[in-house]
């Protein structure tokens, strides 16, 4: 049976599987003459209570040798995380995701006082996990249990942020994940220390920032980061967007629009039930759920990348802003310039090549759906073909960004009829994606070998150019047979001479 004890007014229930694992860990450590303590978030989550698949243990003795022994005994995989600080991970094959083992830094109290937030400065001695005495179970030198009860994130000390500035982002991330508030004193310290985030490795910044962005309600968290002066410390390129005015069609300035649109992306991606909101007009089914939950790299989903694209889509508006004599505001070329800036941001934060390609392409093409759908009869088949060709694997992402961009531009001033017309045109382009699925798409009329044979061509880029022209004509319905395709190729070849 699970073990259930009480600390003050707090009831603790250790799930049976976790209790069994902790018991085994205690035995392995004891066999090596070491004492272990369940620490940090694992204890916090037991108190909340909140499901957790990860276990943090601090132990006396040689942490590396102990972690290797645990990995061998539990048939896990040993991973050194931080050799300098003696932190190691054991990745398990099933059940709990991993065990992080660290060397105890001084006494247990000294170790806990080095931690980030009071809610994580908790320890549960493994030797007491089955003890009947509740008062001896949790070690809490900083009042973390009271902060959990108050749903509050408070720094263990002001030095916590200078010791490891990634905690600046972690505070916001944990506030989002736990639905806690950040203590006013911690907020003031975070604003003062925000500049320190520039000294953290790009990979760590990327991972914490993405966890914040991936959470539902990310727009509010971006506002919070900006309030703490962290948003533009992470992405300095956004600073110029602050107070950058836009045409009358826009409700917010560029920076506010860039943050607000992330919330609209969540809306169009149905992270909340549509109800009577205008997103009910947007196509949505299991295909799109599968599409946006696809993991692109390192567990990061397409939906997360779409949020990132939304945040960055207007990053170059300030640099391209012009005001005409009549007062009209223009941003000529901002998608192209923005794509270059976005590429630099993605590379600086060490995103994968594929992630970079998707986000850069989405930023580059984000105006395209609206532009090609302006004709009274809607976009032509040729224009739709060219859009999908150019946007590549980011085409669907770009269409959903287009929905969100329209909503975020109008904000509270959205006119329902105008929205229905716009969303209907974009949905028509989206329908072309479904019709072009492998199950519905007819085979190509012609290939490169056919052109080489029929026109006596040499292999090379000219063949590719002719094929592309034929495929575009086929998409437009202008070419429907093999003979028509060959005739078009011959005409194009003659015209090029």
Q: List per-residue pLDDT tens for the chain, 497 residues long.
A: 344 444 455 667 788 888 899 999 999 999 999 999 999 999 999 889 888 778 999 999 999 999 999 999 999 999 998 888 899 999 987 655 889 999 998 999 999 999 999 999 999 999 988 866 543 589 999 999 999 999 999 999 989 999 999 999 999 999 999 999 999 999 999 999 999 999 999 999 999 999 999 999 999 999 999 999 999 999 999 999 999 999 999 999 999 999 999 999 999 999 876 666 788 889 998 889 999 999 999 999 999 999 999 999 999 999 999 999 999 999 999 999 999 999 999 999 999 999 999 999 999 999 999 999 887 777 888 888 889 989 999 999 999 999 999 999 999 999 999 999 999 999 999 988 877 654 435 567 788 888 888 888 888 888 888 888 887 777 777 777 888 888 888 888 878 76
Contact 67, 34 (CB under 8 A): no
Name the E strands within 120-245: 123-125, 152-153, 181-182
Lookup: tokens for 16: 């049976």
pLDDT of 95 reads 53
Report all structural domains of the chain as residue ranges with CATH numbers, in order of start.
3-149 (3.30.460.10), 151-234 (1.10.110.30), 262-435 (no CATH), 448-496 (no CATH)
pLDDT of 303 reads 98
Distance CA 62, CA 213 (A): 37
Distance CA 51, CA 69 (A): 27
pLDDT of 136 reads 54
pLDDT of 134 reads 45
**229: nearest Cα among 198, 260, 184, 268:** 198
Alpha-carbon dihedral angle through residues 412, 417, 420, 421, given to the nearest 10 degrees: -120
pLDDT of 6 reads 42
Contacts (Cβ under 8 Å, ≥6 apart) of 438: none
Distance CA 240, CA 341 (A): 13
Distance CA 336, CA 363 (A): 8
pLDDT of 3 reads 46
Cis previous bond, 49, omega within 30 = yes
Distance CA 304, CA 212 (A): 10
Q: Is the dihedral of CA 160, 206, 254, 280 positive or negative?
A: negative
Contact 426, 399 (CB under 8 A): yes
DSSP letter assigned to residue 443:
P
pLDDT of 440 reads 38
At CA 203, angle to CA 351 and CA 113, rounded to 5?
155
pLDDT of 400 reads 97
Distance CA 84, CA 219 (A): 37
């Amino acid at each position: 049976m699970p073990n259930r004890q009480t600390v003050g007014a707090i009831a603790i229930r250790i799930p049976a599987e976790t209790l069994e694992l902790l018991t085994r860990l205690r035995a392995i450590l004891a066999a090596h003459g070491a004492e272990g303590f369940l620490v940090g978030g694992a204890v916090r989550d037991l108190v909340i209570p909140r499901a957790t698949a990860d276990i943090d243990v601090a132990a006396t003795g040689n942490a590396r040798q102990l972690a290797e022994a645990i990995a061998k005994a539990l048939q896990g995989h040993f991973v050194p995380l931080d050799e300098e600080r003696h932190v190691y991970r054991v990745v398990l094959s099933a059940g709990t995701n991993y065990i992080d083992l660290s060397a105890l830094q001084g006494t247990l109290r000294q170790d806990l006082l080095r931690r980030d937030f009071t809610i994580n400065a908790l320890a549960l001695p493994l030797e007491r996990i089955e003890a009947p005495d509740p008062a001896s179970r949790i070690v809490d030198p900083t009042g973390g249990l009271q902060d959990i009860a108050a749903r509050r994130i408070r720094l263990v000390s002001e030095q916590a942020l200078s010791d490891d500035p990634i905690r600046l982002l972690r505070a916001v991330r944990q506030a989002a994940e736990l639905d806690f508030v950040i203590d006013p004193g911690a907020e003031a310290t975070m604003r003062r220390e925000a500049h320190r985030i520039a000294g953290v490795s790009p990979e760590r910044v990327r991972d914490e920032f993405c966890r914040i962005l991936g959470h539902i309600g990310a727009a509010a968290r971006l506002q919070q980061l900006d309030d703490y002066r962290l948003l533009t410390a992470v992405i300095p390129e956004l600073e110029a967007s602050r107070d950058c005015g836009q045409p009358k069609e826009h409700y917010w300035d560029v920076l506010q629009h860039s943050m607000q649109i992330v919330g609209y992306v969540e809306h169009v991606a149905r992270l909340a039930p549509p109800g009577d909101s205008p997103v009910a007009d947007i196509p949505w089914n299991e295909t799109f759920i599968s599409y946006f939950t696809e993991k692109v790299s390192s567990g990061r989903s397409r939906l997360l990348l779409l949020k990132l694209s939304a945040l960055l889509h207007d990053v170059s508006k300030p640099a391209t802003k012009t005001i005409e004599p009549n007062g009209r505001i223009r941003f000529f070329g901002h998608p192209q310039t923005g794509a270059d800036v976005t590429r630099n941001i993605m590379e600086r934060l060490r995103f994968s090549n594929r992630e970079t390609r998707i986000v850069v392409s989405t930023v580059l093409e984000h105006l395209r759906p609206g532009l090609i759908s302006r004709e009274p009869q809607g976009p032509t088949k040729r224009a739709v073909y060219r859009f999908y060709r150019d946007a590549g694997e980011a085409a669907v992402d770009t269409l959903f960004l287009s929905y969100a961009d329209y909503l975020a531009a109008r904000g509270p001033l959205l006119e329902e009829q105008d929205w229905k017309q716009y969303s209907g045109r974009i949905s028509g382009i989206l329908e072309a994606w479904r019709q072009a699925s492998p199950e519905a798409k007819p085979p190509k009329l012609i290939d490169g070998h056919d052109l080489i044979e029929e026109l006596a061509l040499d292999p090379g880029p000219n063949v590719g150019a002719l094929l592309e022209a034929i495929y575009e004509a086929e998409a437009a319905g202008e070419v429907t047979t093999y003979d028509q395709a060959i005739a078009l190729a011959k005409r194009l070849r003659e015209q090029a001479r």
